[in-house]
Amino acid sequence: MDEVLHQQKMIEKYGAEDNGMNEDIDYDKAQNYCKSILKNCPLAVNYMAMRVMYLLKSNQLKEAEAYSKELVERTDIPYTQMSILQSWRARVMIYSGNEVLGEKLLR
């Protein structure tokens, strides 16, 4: 549990929005900490969504596309939580240049 708490603090440190005061922003590190948390908590949907967000913010579009596709194809994620992941998948598709599919997923 201490490891997960440490990883959460690191996500806050590296993934905080830039307000001109935070020089530690590193979205790649933040997504790696999300990935580490998911090893311990494999159904933590909020960290799945955060990882997709940080992949996008670190301009890793191919990784974000592959990961978001993997997420929406999983059958072990509760249906009630899937809409969050589908909305991130839609954003990835729009940012990747596939606006038609992205808009379709959002609807």
Q: What is the pLDDT of residue 15?
A: 86
What pLDDT digit, counting tens, does each position of 45-66 carry? Answer: 999 999 999 999 999 999 999 9
Q: Which residue has the tokens 């998911």?
A: 38
Give Rg (Cα) of the chain. 14
Maximal C-alpha separation, the chain? 43
Percentage of the chain exceeding pLDDT 70: 93
DSSP 52-84: HHHHHHTT-HHHHHHHHHHHHH-SSS-HHHHHH
How many Å apart are CA 58 and CA 47, to the nearest integer?
16
pTM of the model: 0.87
Q: Where are the chain's structural domains?
A: 2-106
The superfamily (CATH) of domain 2-106 is: Tetratricopeptide repeat domain (1.25.40.10)
Q: What is the pLDDT of residue 63?
A: 96
